[in-house]
Structure 1
Amino acid sequence: MKEITPKEMESLLKKENIHVIDVRETEEVKAGKIPDAVNIPLGLLEFRMHELDKAKEYIMVCRSGGRSFKASQLLENHGFKVFNMAGGMLEWDGPTE
């Protein structure tokens, strides 16, 4: 599985249109999320995979990197191109909304 650091992701956000999926619970996301990230809680990801496009690359994010690691494995096993943001939002110094 591929990983990306929060610093690498922050640089990508400035240059490219990237697809970020935040797998934290809705209540956690209310405290702030990466701009334009889509919130799909980990427990619902399996049921909402049909909303995603296998032609796109996704970066998975959670609080510390554990849930996003599981989400990345799930999507990768279903043929998606996925990166896990190591360290999660605890390591994120970039902008939030």
Structure 2
Amino acid sequence: MEQHTDGDAFEIKVAAAHWGILLTHFKGLHHKYETGPVQQSVITTDQQHVIVGAVGDDYALVMTMNRNALPLLALNKFRETAALLHKEIY
């Protein structure tokens, strides 16, 4: 697992694992609602925005940012990064 954080490295590993579990749950929803597979999800809390998305079938990418960040701009960079990771891994 690769990571970059300005905070506690262990905390980011735990958070990434939890966001990955949530992504797995979201990916299973398309069977129930016929929406097609989930690729990314943007989640906003009181303190931050989180983008979590699949990189192939086996990996997830998680990006957390301050609440005053612009999540749609970040989503474009997230998608570019996920595509590069997919190319490297697969």
Tell me if both proteins adopt one fold, taking TM over 0.5 as the criterion.
Answer: no
TM-score, normalised to structure 1, is 0.28
Structure with a larger share of its residues in helix? 2
Highest RCO, 1 vs 2 (Cα 8 Å, sep ≥ 6): 1
